[in-house]
Structure 1
Amino acid sequence: RLQASLNPNGLEVRRGERSFRLHDKVMQIRNNYDKDVFNGDVGRIVFLDGKERTLSVRYDDRVVPYDFEELDELTSAYAISIHKSQGSEYPAVVIPLMMQHYVLLQRNLVYTGVTRGKKLVVLVGESRALHMAVKNNKTRTRHTRLALRLQPLT
C-alpha cells in the first residue's frame, strides 16, 4: 500500500508476488560480498531496464547493479521491522503498539524503535500496550545451543 501511495507510477518489474519500481526504496536482505552490500543496507532503485533485465540501486554514494535473477536479495523498504532497523536511523519512524502483539511488547524493542527516529517518532495504537511494553523489561531467553556447537569435536 505504501508503494502504491508513494511511488504509484513508472517502470516496474515483477518478481513473484513482489514488484520493483523505479525510485522504490529497497533493502538488501542478505550479505553479498561480491557487490559489497550487506543485510540491512537501504537504497533506492535508480535504473531499471526490462529489456536487459537489470536494475541498479543507489546506496548512499554508490550505485550497485543487479540482474533480475538477483532480486530475491532485495525487498521493499517502505516499512521495516524494528529488528531490521537496528543500527540505522530514519527521518521519521511510526511504531504500532497493539495488545494483539503482546509477545513483542517489550521495553527494549520500544526503546530500539524510538531511538531509530532522527526528527519524528509516532506511536500509534493502544496506550495500555505502551504501558505493558514499558513495564516489561524481561527479555526472552534464547536457547541456541551456541556454546555446545562451539565445542571441539572429540
Structure 2
Amino acid sequence: MQLKNDYHREVFNGDQGTITAIEREEQILTITYDDRPVDYDFADLNEIDLAWAISIHKSQGSEYPVVILPLYMQHFLLLSRNLFYTGLTRAKRLALVIGSQKAIGYAVRQQKERYRYTRLADRLVISP
C-alpha cells in the first residue's frame, strides 16, 4: 500500500498493488498497480507498507471483498458509531464482526461528534 502521494510515479495514498519483482543487485522493487508496474529503489521503501491488515482510517475511500472488524472493550477509545459504520461499508461481499456484544453495543451507542474549530463561517464571504 502506498502511504503518501507520489506524483512522479503516479501512485497515491491508499493505492494497493502486488509485489511482482525484487531485484536485489539493482536494489529495485516492482509493484504492479492495476496492471501498471511501478519501480521503487530500496531507499524509497518507506513510502509503502504491507496491506494484509489495515486500519479503518487507512481504508476510507476503498472497498474490499472481506472485512474483519474486531471490536473489544480494550479498545474503547476507538469504539464509535462512525468508525463501525465506515468499517462495515468497506466490505463488498462479507463483513465479519468479531468481539463482545458489550463492545458492539458500546460502538453503536457512541456518537463521537467532535466540534471542529475551523472558523469556516468567518472565512465565507457571501456576495449580494
Same-fold call, TM cutoff 0.5: yes
Displaced runs of 4 or more, over 6 A? none
CA-based RMSD: 1.5
* Residues 26-71 of structure 1 deviation map (CA, whole Å, 9 limit, x = unaligned): x000111100111111111001110110011111121111010000
The DSSP-based 3-state class of the residue aligned with 1:37 is: coil
Equivalent-residue separation in structure 2 for 1:98 and 1:80 (angstroms) = 17
* Structure having greater relative contact order (Cα 8 Å, sep ≥ 6): 2
What is the match of residue 61 of structure 2?
Answer: 87
Equivalent-residue separation in structure 2 for 1:142 and 1:29 (angstroms) = 26
Equivalent-residue separation in structure 1 for 2:72 and 2:61 (angstroms) = 24
What is the match of residue 109 of structure 1?
Answer: 83
* Residues 83-133 of structure 1 deviation map (CA, whole Å, 9 limit, x = unaligned): 000000001100110101111111010000000011111011111111011
What is the match of residue 102 of structure 2?
Answer: 128
Equivalent-residue separation in structure 2 for 1:80 and 1:146 (angstroms) = 33
What is the match of residue 62 of structure 1?
Answer: 36
Taking only the aligned residue pairs, the percentage that are identical comes to 51
Equivalent-residue separation in structure 2 for 1:141 and 1:95 (angstroms) = 27
User: Where does 1:4-83 land on structure 2 (aligned, <5 Å)?
Assistant: 27-83=1-57
TM-score (norm 1): 0.74
Equivalent-residue separation in structure 2 for 1:54 and 1:146 (angstroms) = 46
Letter in 1 for 2:50: S
TM-score (norm 2): 0.88
